[in-house]
Amino acid sequence: MFRTALRNVLAHKGRLLMTMLAVMLGTAFVAGTLVFTDTMGQALRTQNSKSYADIAVTVSDSEAVGRGYDHGGRTAAGPTLTEDTRRKLVTLPGAADVRGVVSGFAGIADHKGALIGNGFSTTGTNYVPGADGTDPRYPLVAGRGPKDAGEIALDTRTAEKGGFKVGDTVRVAVNGPVMQLKLTGTLHTNDPRVTAGGSLAAFDTATAQQLYLSPGRFAELDVRAAPGTDDTALLAAVRQALPQGDNLKAKTGRELADEQDRMIAQGTRILSTFLMGFAAIALFVGVFIIANTFSMLVAQRTRELALLRAVGATRRQITRSVKVEAALVGLTASVAGLLAGIGIALGLKALLNGPMDANLPDGPLVIAPTTVLAAIAVGVLVTLVAAWLPARRASRIAPVAAMSSSEQPATQKSLRLRNTVGLLFSLAGAAALAAGASGKEVKLVGLGAGALLIGVFVLTPLLSRPLIALFAPLLRAVYGTPGKLARENAVRNPRRTAATASALTIGVTLITSLTVVGASVNKAVDDSTSSDLKADYTVAMQNFSDLSPEVAAQIAKAPGVSAMSTERSVPVTIDRGQDRGRGAGDGENEFLTAVDAATIDQLATVRIREGSADALEQGKLLVSSGRSEQARYKVGDVLAVTYPDGSKGSLTVGGVLEANTALAPVLAPEAVVGPHAQPGSGLEKVLVKGTNGATEQLKQALRDATGGNPLIAVKGEKDIKAESRQAVTNILNMMYGLLGMSVVIAVLGVVNTMAMSVFERRREIGMLRAIGLDRLGIRRMVRLESLLIALFGGLVGVGLGILVAWAGVRTLADDLKGITTVVPPLQIVCFLLAAAVIGLLAALWPAHRAAKLDILDAIRSE
Amino acid sequence: MSFPATAVRTGLAAARATGLNKVYGEGETRVVALDNVSVTFPQGEFTAIMGPSGSGKSTLMHCMAGLDTVSSGSTTIGDTELVGLKDKQLTQLRRDHIGFIFQAFNLLPTLTALENITLPMDIAGRKADQAWLDRVVDTVGLSGRLGHRPSQLSGGQQQRVACARALAGKPDIIFADEPTGNLDSRSGAEILSFLRNSVRELGQTVVMVTHDPVAASYADRVVFLADGRIVDELHAPTADTVLDRMRRFDAKGRTS
């Protein structure tokens, strides 16, 4: 039977082409993902081990690391790493050298004052000259390292982007006004944060300490070992020498590199899982096409298979021959898919390093044996699973069918069982969806959506007739007989039409639901921004780090400002005693947001649900409804708090607020809690109301007040809305791109079905040509059928997508106040149009073939 | 033995071929399917074309019906010369002036019997002549089954639908290719009587290719083809005279 199967594959090469392409694309997605993430992971790890190569032991101060982002919100309690500590470590036996490191962020402005690179990946550090006067971490490309507070060195790419040359003045800012520094040199770095769109600014150590910590303090001490020193012994010595404190951690460079390796592995695993999800969707779409093809092939070969049965082949042998055929198809396509996947990985790398400017580290392509196995196993398995039902059907062909006429069996097996199963699934899915939507259970919604999708797919044959009939009058009126024939053909084999359309439905459902959720989120953000925020402008750091208090002071003095308030985060611990059934003493952490009690109601809409609107002015707290439920704060509660400066006090909950996106969960009057906070810390945002509203002059005045810091964003209502829209658009575009593969596979499915149908119906086509339908008519008939199938798939997809999106939006109701389902009509129409275009394009080749058929050959064919 | 222009009788010709040649292939594989064939099918006559397998009888029909191209010569339907017509013009000619009946019925399974019958007119965008249509449907005896689909009809009934389809548009000529080939003898006889009646009573012109002497006996005239040439014709044939004539081909075939 193996030989029969092989012969069949070879004989039906053409008819199997689309199926093979579908499997190939699916496995290419899998292989591409694996190869790409492995390659990237390997390159990152190689680079990682290089960057820790010369560090034997490293000591870090957890209270100082990342201080550039978080200016003293936390209480500094432990010992610090100072120049003294550093000197002490140098004298340890085996230590060759100790480098004190300080790091944070630093925004570099271009000539127009705009930030170079991505705000979240700007990095700043201290330049530590070694014995030769250069810092081995950052090899000099030009000039020299910075030596005093007026100097700076930049990584070469940032210098290039800004058009800076050694000797130029560079505008740099941390969290306060811009500094004008002289560029002394350009550096080379492999830090992935920098190479992937960030920037690196190197200051001399004293300046960096001033900017990020405090004079003489380091965030990290890196110990280099003398040759022949045992890292572990050195680590022990370092631990001995260090002052005692939980915030100081010593590790060997090897440990640190391993830690980083684990993080890289985790990162690539997340990326790989994410991409694999889309690969799975693509393969799922492929299943429909494979199943369809094998069903058609089995139906076309009914007589041949019956003949095999008649001459003595057992059912099992027939089934096996179809399965072997499927396995051969799967294997061939998977191998091609593996190769294509490697190509995709190469292309992706080139794309990211080229036009996308992501500058991934270089490294060899990694094709792991597991990748090869996984891609081939997935391709073969998917094909086998998809061909399972057709194979079973083949075995049921009675030997007597060999003797019957060549006519295709016109009677269809009843769809009753199928419809019952589909209906049950759909109902269960819809019920779960509704329950999940009302109970805001994301998991239940997901489960319901899945069951509903499966149910509807099972029901598609039933749906095909009425939905396609919708178009019948239009088709007849515009296209006459070809239109009518197209419609009849589209519903003549409901299973085939359903499987073809379903492949497209999957993609359209996902795209529609994402689009609807996106539009709903946009609308909700727009609405809440309009209704919640009264301030004309908000001023905040682009990377969500804290503003310098100087910025607030400057804004208060800016012309055209009628009211302003800072939003300052003050971490406190609350001792709730034993009355809440919790252990006393430990306390709970809470972040108070200190605002100006007098002006806040001019800057944001303060809607009181319970309690007093004057709470803040009375020195009490205002708590959001969400936080009040979560932490069980009630109006009148008196909270015993411990402030960051160690002092204790009591605060009363004065009111509960309706949800407001512009306000933090727990508001406190600045006048009461401000004095107990770390001086100059926690300034998250400044809200500003203008005398004349939101004007360009005010915006410029605020920009001036920030000292031109490119990292500080001054945003009006419009900017906030646009930013949110942009974020949604970016996510959607990425998803659309990743779902593109499934749509391409679905298109192949339509091509496949139409080509097979034309092949099966060539005698009819010959007859139609003989009795007077011209080539255009034939072409139209095929194209319109394809159009109908695609539109049908699109319609079901749009409907399902909107339903799933509705449920999804309901679950978001807690996070986005007032979110309602928004169906953007234009986009939905575009999706349907796209489905129609897909249908027409998919039919180009089959229609051409149908029109080209030789009448006499066609009529004579069996 | 040859029968050239003598076969052409007076009266208006529904279709006529003059000096028709059809050659397939080249060089070694060259096959002459039609060798200088001239024949006329007068209006209102039922003609059968007979001949052994490979004699060219189907090729002759296909060429004269505009389904196949000719190598040289001329062939007309009514006043229209087919040679030199473009595909679109040929299609329209077939649609508006020619009816077809095939051996394998060739109905569209998705359409009802009535829809199949009116298909050529629907394609042309013409309205059927209702009185004529009723008469045709009545004659073929399908009145009660017009709403059925082909799969619900027997072979004989399907072929009657095909006959009605060929007749419904009042074509100038109907070409039938082995119309009884897939039928049992009783159904076949029904179809043949029906074709004869459509000529006698409805004034149609029918040309039928067959290898069955009984089928040929329903025709007014039988034209015999052998090796791509017209070799004989019989008027008012009976099954016996046709069979007799056919036997002579066989005998000649064996002795030569």
Quick check: is B3 in a domain? no
Average pLDDT over chain A reads 87
**pLDDT beyond 70 at A586:** no
Sign, Cα dihedral of B126, B129, B135, B137: positive
Q: What is the pLDDT of residues A370-416, one digit of tens each?
A: 999 999 999 999 999 999 988 988 888 888 777 665 444 444 567 78
**Interface membership of B103 toward A (CB under 8 Å):** no
Residues of chain B contacting A763 with CB distance shorter than 8 Å: 104, 106
Domain boundaries, chain A: 1-53+254-411, 54-253, 464-532+717-862, 544-710
Whether B120 and A764 lie within 8 Å, measured CB to CB: no
Residue A599 and residue A595: Cα distance in Å, rounded?
8
B166-195: buried (b, 16+ CB within 10 Å) or exposed (e) per residue? Answer: bbbbbbbbbbbbbbbbbbeeebbbbbbebb
Residue A663: how many other CB atoms lie within 10 Å? 24
Quick check: is B156 in a domain? yes
The single residue listed with the structure tokens 């500058």 is A359
Residue of A nearest to B116 (CA): A768
Of A848 and A412, the structure prediction assigns the larger pLDDT to A848
Average confidence (pLDDT) over A280-305? 88
Beta strands of A516-620 (E only): which ranges?
A: 537-541, 561-575, 588-595, 608-611
Confidence of residue A55 (pLDDT cuts 50, 70, 90): confident
**CATH number assigned to the domain comprising residue B180:** 3.40.50.300
Whether A488 and B110 lie within 8 Å, measured CB to CB: yes
Quick check: is B95 in a domain? yes
Angle among Cα A313, A317, A319 to the nearest 5 degrees reads 125
pLDDT computed for residue A52 by the predictor: 81
Domain count, chain B: 1
Residue of B nearest to A493 (CA): B110
Q: What is the pLDDT of residues A421-472, one digit of tens each?
A: 999 999 999 999 999 888 888 888 889 999 999 999 999 999 998 999 888 8
B105-128: buried (b, 16+ CB within 10 Å) or exposed (e) per residue? Answer: bbbbbbbbbbbbbbbbbbbbeeeb
Residue B228 and residue B55: Cα distance in Å, rounded?
5
pLDDT computed for residue A442 by the predictor: 84
Amino acid, single-letter form, for residue A195: T
* Structure tokens that stand for A689 in this block: 């109301």
Q: Give the alpha-carbon dihedral of A500, A502, A508, A509, to 10 degrees.
A: 180
Q: Which stretch of A140-144, A362-366, A698-702 has the lowest confidence by average pLDDT?
A: A362-366
Q: Which candidate in B22, B85, B108 is best for mutational testing of the A interface (most A CBs within 10 A)?
A: B108
The DSSP element (H or E) to which A623 belongs, if any, is strand A621-624
Contact A500, A285 (CB under 8 A): no
Q: What is the pLDDT of residues A656-680, one digit of tens each?
A: 998 888 888 999 999 999 888 887 7
Q: What is the pLDDT of residues A71-120, one digit of tens each?
A: 444 455 678 888 889 998 889 888 888 999 998 889 999 888 888 888 78
Whether B151 and A410 lie within 8 Å, measured CB to CB: yes
Burial class (CB in 10 A: 0-12, 13-18, 19+), A282: buried
Phi-psi region of A302 (alpha: psi -120 to 50; beta: other; left: phi over 0): alpha
Sign, Cα dihedral of A54, A59, A65, A68: negative
pLDDT computed for residue A65 by the predictor: 63
Q: Which stretch of A38-47, A356-365, A724-733, B198-207 has the lowest confidence by average pLDDT?
A: A356-365
Whether B106 and A481 lie within 8 Å, measured CB to CB: no
Quick check: is B136 in a domain? yes
Average confidence (pLDDT) over A324-346? 93
- Beta bridge partners of residue A652, listed in sequence order: A638
Whether B106 and A764 lie within 8 Å, measured CB to CB: yes
pLDDT computed for residue B4 by the predictor: 37
Q: What is the pLDDT of residues A31-50, one digit of tens each?
A: 999 999 999 888 888 888 88
Task: Note down the domain range covering B138.
Answer: 43-62+85-255
Q: Which stretch of A56-70, A329-343, A703-717, A760-774 has the lowest confidence by average pLDDT?
A: A56-70
Q: Which pairing describes strands B173-177 and B206-209: parallel, antiparallel, or unpaired?
A: parallel
Average confidence (pLDDT) over B113-139? 89
Burial class (CB in 10 A: 0-12, 13-18, 19+), A466: exposed
Percent share of chain A, pLDDT over 70: 95
Confidence of residue A66 (pLDDT cuts 50, 70, 90): low
Residues 6+ apart with CB under 8 A from A743: A504, A507, A511, A838
Residue A525 and residue A722: Cα distance in Å, rounded?
10
The DSSP element (H or E) to which A135 belongs, if any, is none
Instruction: State how far the alpha carbon of A160 is from the alpha carbons of A117, A120, A166, A394, A503, in Å.
Output: 12, 20, 11, 67, 48
Q: Give the alpha-carbon dihedral of A28, A30, A33, A36, to 10 degrees.
A: -60
**pLDDT beyond 70 at A554:** yes
Contact A52, A253 (CB under 8 A): yes
Residue A792 and residue A486: Cα distance in Å, rounded?
13
Q: What is the pLDDT of residues B153-171, one digit of tens each?
A: 988 899 999 999 998 888 9
Helix (H, G, I), strand (E, B) or coil at A464: helix
Instruction: State how far the alpha carbon of A785 is from the alpha carbons of A701, A778, B173, in Å.
Output: 63, 11, 33
Q: What is the pLDDT of residues A500-511, one digit of tens each?
A: 999 999 999 999
Residue A670: how many other CB atoms lie within 10 Å? 23
Helix (H, G, I), strand (E, B) or coil at A404: coil
**pLDDT beyond 50 at A717:** yes
pLDDT computed for residue B10 by the predictor: 44
Whether B106 and A767 lie within 8 Å, measured CB to CB: yes
